[in-house]
Amino acid sequence: MISFNPTEEQQMIVNMVKQFATDEMRKIYRECDEGGEIPQRVIDTAWGLGLVSSCIPEAYGGAGGERSVLTGTLIAEELAWGDLAIAMHILCPSLFVLPILEMGTEEQKKKYLPLFCGDKFTPATAALIEPRFNFDPNELLTTARRDGNSYLLNGEKCYVPLAAEAEAILVYAAENGQTQGFIVEKGMPGLEIKEREKNMGIKALATYEVALKDCRVPKENRLGGDGGCDFNRLLNCSRVALAAMAVGVARAAFEYSRDYAKTRVAFGEPIASRQAIAFMIAEMAIEIDATRLMAWEAAWLLDKKQEATRESSLVKIYADDMVLTTTDRGVQILGGHGYIREHPVELWFRNGRGFATFDGMAMV
Partner 1 sequence: MIDFELSAEDKATIEAAHKFAEEFMRPISRYYDEHEHEEPDEFIQKSMGLRSQGGVFGLGVAAALRVEEFCWGDAGLMLAMPGPGLGGAAVFASGTREQIGRFLTRYGEDQPCWGAMAMTEPHCGSDTAAINTTAVREGDEWVINGEKIFVTAGKRAMEKSKGLTVVWATVDKTAGRAGMKPFVVEAGTPGVKVEKQEKKLGIRASDTVTLVFDNCRIPFENILGSPEVRKVDKTDTAGFKKAMATFDATRPIIAAMAIGVARAALDFVKETLQKEGIEIRYGLPRQKLTALERDVMEMESQYKAAKMLMLRAVWMMSQLQPNNLESSMAKVKAGLAATKITQKAVEILGPLGYSRKCLVEKWMRDAKINDIFEGTGQINMLVVARRILDFTREQLK
Whether the Cβ atoms of residue 140 and residue 206 lie closer than 8 Å to each other: no
Least distance (Å) from partner 1 to the CB of residue 288?
10
- Out of 5, 149, 176, 263, the only residue in the binding site for partner 1 (CB under 8 A) is 5
- Out of 24, 287, 328, 346, the only residue in the binding site for partner 1 (CB under 8 A) is 287
Note whether 130 binds partner 1 by CB under 8 A: no
Q: Quick one: which of 20, 51, 353 has its CA closest to 202?
A: 353
Q: What are phi and psi of 300, to 5 degrees?
A: -60, -40
Give the integer Cα–Cα distance in Å for 134 and 128: 13
Least distance (Å) from partner 1 to the CB of residue 294?
6
Within residues 110-129, the interface with partner 1 by CB under 8 A covers: none
For partner 1, give the closer residue by CB, 184 or 319: 319
Helix axes 345-353, 26-35, angle to 10 degrees: 70
Least distance (Å) from partner 1 to the CB of residue 78?
15
For partner 1, give the closer residue by CB, 51 or 140: 140
For partner 1, give the closer residue by CB, 59 or 293: 293
Long-range residue pairs from 97-101, CB within 8 A, at least 24 positions apart, any chain: 97/52, 97/53, 97/56, 97/124, 98/55, 98/67, 98/234, 98/237, 98/363, 98/364, 99/126, 99/170, 99/181, 99/223, 99/229, 99/234, 99/363, 100/170, 100/183, 100/223, 101/55, 101/56, 101/57, 101/67
Give the integer Cα–Cα distance in Å for 154 and 264: 55
For partner 1, give the closer residue by CB, 45 or 313: 313
Least distance (Å) from partner 1 to the CB of residue 148?
33
Least distance (Å) from partner 1 to the CB of residue 259?
10
User: If you compute the radius of gyration of the chain from its CA atoms, what whole number of angstroms results?
Assistant: 20
C-alpha dihedral sign at 316, 317, 320, 326 = negative
Note whether 270 binds partner 1 by CB under 8 A: yes
Note whether 273 binds partner 1 by CB under 8 A: yes
Piece of the chain touching partner 1 by CB under 8 A; list 47-55, 198-206, 313-321, 327-335: 313-321
Within residues 341-360, the interface with partner 1 by CB under 8 A covers: 356, 359
Within residues 53-92, the interface with partner 1 by CB under 8 A covers: 70
Size of the residue set binding partner 1 (CB under 8 A):
51
Output the CA torsion 198→200→204→206 (10° steps).
Answer: -40
Instruction: Give the binding site for partner 1 (CB under 8 A).
Output: 1-7, 10, 70, 133-138, 232, 235, 258, 261-262, 270, 272-273, 275, 278-279, 281-283, 285-287, 289-291, 293-294, 296-297, 300, 309-311, 313-315, 317-318, 320, 356, 359
